[in-house]
Amino acid sequence: MIIAQITDLHVVAKNRLCYHRVPTNAQLAQSIAHINSLDPRPDAVIASGDLTDHGRPEEYDLLRETLSDLIPPVFVIPGNHDRRDVLLKAFASEDYMPPPDAPFVNYAIDRYPVRLIGLDTSVLERHHGMMCEERLRWLDATLSAQPDCPTLIFMHHPPFRTGVQWMDASGLHGGRMMEEIVRRHRQVVRVACGHIHRPIHVAWAGTIASTSPSTCHQVSLNLTGQNGFEFTMEPRAVQLHVWDDSYGLISHLSYVPAGYEEVAMLSSLTDEARAKLLAQNRREYQELCNSEYDR
Ligand SMILES: [Fe+2]
Ligand SMILES: [Fe+2]
C-alpha cells in the first residue's frame, strides 16, 4: 500500500494568489497531476490540513473541484487556516466524514492494510493547535479498538518541538499528553503532520513523527529564532508512505516537477516591501511568544 501525503495546500479563491504572490491553486493542480502520474500510483491520499487559506466556502468549493482530479481517494483534515464548520459542510457527502455538526473532524479509515486515523488539532480563529481532553479520549479509544493493525495518524500541528521557533510558537497544546497515549499503542507506525512547510523526522512516543513539505511555498529553515518567518520557494514535494509487510512503513519525498516561475514572483518584492513583511512577522511572533503556551 502507498499513501501519498499532501499538506498545506492553502487554496484561495479563483484567480487569486496566496499572500498576493504564491500561485497555490496552480501548484496544487501540479501536485495532483504528479500523484496521478506515479507508477505505481498511490492507493490513497491524505491531506494534512491548511487545505484552504481563509476557510471560506468558495475556497472549499474550488478545493473540492481541484481534488476531484485525483485518481486515488483523498481524506482531509483541517489546519489552522481552515474553518472546521465550513469544511464539514463542504465535504458532507464523503462517507468517511463526521456529520456537519460534529465537534471535530476525527475519523478512522479501516479499509486498507494500514489503518488511517485523521486527527483534528484545529482551534477556531487561532494558529496554535490543541489536543484537548475530548480529543485525547477519542484517540485513546480509537487506538484501543484496533490494537493489532498498523496505524498511521495524520494531523496538522506536529506534537513535537521542531526548532523552527516561529512555527513552534504556533504549535500544539497537549502534545505531551498525546505522547503518553501514543506510547501505549505500539501499532502506531507513523504520526504524519503538516503546518511547518518543511520535511522533519523525529523519534517520538516510541514511533516516528514527521512533517511534510507543502504543495505550495516552504518556510525557510531558520534555527536561530531571529528574523521571524520567511517564505522560500524550495522544491515542493509529496510524501509517499510505502507499507511493506517485512520492513514496515518507508517514507519517501517525491518532488513535484515544475518550473520555478514562483521564484521570480518572490524576488520581485522591493526591499521596502520585504522589510515591511519581516517587521510584521516579527510582531506576530512576539505576540505568539507572549501568549499562554503549555509545552
Ligand atoms: Fe500552512
Ligand atoms: Fe498551519
Query: Residue ranges per domain, the chain?
Result: 2-290
For ligand 2, an ion, list residues with CB under 5 A.
50, 79-80, 195
Task: Tell me the fold of 2-290.
Answer: Purple Acid Phosphatase; chain A, domain 2 (3.60.21)
Ligand nearest to the CA of 156: 2
Q: Which helix (H) or strand (E) holds 31?
A: helix 24-37
- Give the separation between CA 236 and CA 257, rounded to whole angstroms: 8
Question: Nearest bound ligand to CA 157?
Answer: 2
CA of 81 to the centre of ligand 2 (A): 6
Would you state the pLDDT for residue 156?
98
Q: Phi and psi of 154, rounded to 5°?
A: -120, 140
Grid-cell match 536561530, residue found:
224
- How much distance in Å is there from the Cα of 51 to the middle of ligand 2? 9
Per-residue pLDDT of the chain (295 residues; tens, 9 = 90+): 999 999 999 999 998 888 877 889 999 999 999 999 999 999 999 999 999 999 999 999 999 999 999 999 999 999 999 999 999 999 999 999 999 999 999 999 999 999 999 999 999 999 999 999 999 999 999 999 999 999 999 999 999 999 988 889 899 999 999 999 999 999 999 999 999 999 999 999 999 999 999 999 898 898 887 766 778 888 999 999 999 999 999 999 999 986 544 444 445 566 776 666 566 655 654 554 454 333 2
Helix, strand, coil percentages for the chain (3-state, nearest 5): 30, 25, 45
Cα of 244 vs centre of ligand 2, distance in Å, is 30
**Model confidence over 240-284: pLDDT tens digits?**
999 999 999 999 999 998 654 444 444 556 677 666 656 665 565
Predicted pLDDT at 265: 46
CA of 11 to the centre of ligand 1 (A): 10
Residues 13-29 as b/e (b if ≥16 CB within 10 A, e otherwise) read eeebebeeebbbbebbe
CA of 216, nearest ligand number: 1
**247 C-alpha to center of ligand 1: Å?**
31
Q: Residue 219 CA: which ligand is closest?
A: 1
Which residues lie at CB < 5 A from ion ligand 1?
8, 50
Helix 175-184 to helix 133-145 angle (10° resolution) is 10
Query: Ligand 2 centre from 131 Cα, in Å?
Result: 15
Measured from the alpha carbon of residue 127, the closest ligand is 2
